Amino acid sequence: MGYIVAKFGGWANASAENVKLAADLFEKNHDRKIKVNSAIGKVEGLPKVTDLLTEGAEAALKTGAFPEDILEKIKLNHYTVFKPLGVPEDVIDGVLKLLEERLPMKESLSPDHFRALIIGSGEELFSRLDAYYLKEIRKLKARYVDPREMGHYLGGNPLDGHILPESYNNLSRLKDMDGIIVYPGFFAISNRGEPMIYSRGGTDKTAADIAAAIDATLYENWKDVDGIYCADPRIVKNPELMNEVTYKEIRELSYISFNVLHQEAMLPVMNAGIPVNIKNLLKPDSRGTLIVHDREHIENRPVIGIAGLKGICVINIEKRMMNEEIGFAEKVMALFRENRISIEQIATSIDTIAILAKESDFKEKSIHFGISESVRKEIDFEEFNEYLKHQLKADKVKISRNRSLMCVVGQGMRKSVGTLGRIATSLSNAGINIEIVDQGPSERNVIVCFKDEEDYSKSKKAVEVLYEEFFQA
């Protein structure tokens, strides 16, 4: 028997009506085995529960107390969702009391483990109440399952954990449990029992890890959109919906700006060959977008998606005989890694290496600059320029700001001649001068970099002209 893992994000859990619709899905299809929940999103103008918990955790660490106004907002969020569903107030209060009971644990935990404990509580609070609603109100066979009891182990940073291999074997036991499994996303424990959380958006990863562990037939991700569009609907009017897209194609798009699914959440299901269905909770009978291992190439359709990323800076490093210096590129990447600046793209020539990074990564980062202890500060671009020049003994370092990246993706490009030329010609005709172009070795993506305006009007124009070229021509 094949099982479906269904994930519901903050939006899906932010109203009584949405929670009811989710319950309907499990009532209609018994193959839906595991319901993985995020915390409640925005409710009637209130902040997201996770944001409230983050603020409360910081206040508790500083003052020793969880602010009453934050507790009241968290309570109001849960009352607003669950009271209309018939969940009694005393049940809601009893579950929310778990949060207050955890506050004294800050004395026995490190600050980051305490943060993980509190910040990850939103998923648990919702899921406990959701399980009550399914079982007691909807009369479905459902149970809450605690990640701590399942041996769902994460390693690494308490606030940015990664699943440990032994967790998959532990989580595989979920498929043998009766009824609907209501499972909170985002949080877990270390193998020493300490509170841990994935990075923000980690409920996607929780659901993907569970899907891989139980060898699910399908991983459903329920949202407020019909699926994945070929371009940003905020820029292109009524863009086409992708019916099918491959794991590798969506990974390429997610890397740039398609925030449909957490990038790391793709890996477990991709490795296991489990299809992912992005669907609209408000239109449950619509097909949505299916993410699969492979798809048929559509004639004259080499491109499946166009994405843009603004706020990029380009760090050009010039050094004569760079090609003869063994390990030079490694040195460059090490300096960026030490200063916690992510590299978005690398382009090289015989004496030049160009590093593309997000300008936002220069804000409030831990920077070393050759001293024994790191300091927290906003990295000055000119200062970083001189730092790189000194460390690398470079002839010249130049940082160019206000750049944008455009990514054109489609596995059909491997079988189509002239795609790169079409991209270059379309952008040139629109008055957009390409500074850097890179086609990956997979031949399924082309990335171009260009100077943008302060309002990022060129990146918007680039999306429009490329969409017209590949989807409306």
Chain segment 89-116, per-residue pLDDT in tens: 999 999 999 998 998 999 999 999 999 9
Torsion angle of C-alpha atoms 365, 366, 367, 371, degrees rounded to 10: 160
Task: State the chain's mean pLDDT as an integer.
Answer: 90
Q: What span, in angstroms and rounded, lies between the C-alpha atoms of 405 and 287?
A: 31
pLDDT classification of 301: cutoffs 50, 70, 90: confident
- Give CATH for domain 4-223: 3.40.1160.10
Task: Classify each residue of 323-344 as buried b or exposed e, where b means 16 or more C-beta atoms within 10 Å of its C-beta.
Answer: eeeeebeeebeebbeebebeeb
What pLDDT does residue 254 have? 77
Q: Averaged over 278-286, what is the pLDDT? A: 95
Which amino acid, 64? G
Q: What span, in angstroms and rounded, lies between the C-alpha atoms of 462 and 235?
A: 10
In a 3-state reduction of DSSP, which class is residue 241? strand
Domain ranges, ordered by start, for the chain: 4-223, 305-471
Tokens linked to 238: 């009524």
Q: Do domains 4-223 and 305-471 have the same CATH topology?
A: no
Under 8 Å between Cβ of 302 and 250:
no
Under 8 Å between Cβ of 144 and 176:
no
Q: What span, in angstroms and rounded, lies between the C-alpha atoms of 236 and 464?
A: 6
Lowest mean pLDDT among 185-194, 247-256, 281-290: 247-256
pLDDT in tens, 368-399: 444 334 444 566 788 888 889 999 999 999 99
pLDDT in tens, 316-359: 999 998 888 888 989 999 988 888 788 888 888 889 999 999 88
Percentage of the chain lying above the pLDDT 70 cut:
94
Q: Is the pLDDT of residue 1 over 60?
A: no
Percentage of the chain lying above the pLDDT 90 cut:
70
In a 3-state reduction of DSSP, which class is residue 6? strand
pLDDT classification of 298: cutoffs 50, 70, 90: confident
pLDDT in tens, 231-245: 999 999 999 999 999
pLDDT classification of 71: cutoffs 50, 70, 90: very high
Write down the residue that tokens 């960026």 correspond to: 336
What pLDDT does residue 361 have? 82
Under 8 Å between Cβ of 325 and 353:
no
Higher confidence at residue 12 or residue 379? 12
Q: Is the pLDDT of residue 306 over 60?
A: yes
Tell me which residue of 221, 218, 215 sits closest to 272, measured CA to CA.
215
The CATH homologous superfamily to which domain 305-471 belongs is: VC0802-like (3.30.2130.10)
Q: Averaged over 255-279, what is the pLDDT? A: 84
In a 3-state reduction of DSSP, which class is residue 246? strand
Q: Is the pLDDT of residue 255 over 80?
A: no
Q: Is the pLDDT of residue 42 over 60?
A: yes
Tell me which residue of 343, 359, 375, 387 sits closest to 255, measured CA to CA.
343
Q: Is the pLDDT of residue 366 over 80?
A: no
What pLDDT does residue 222 have? 97
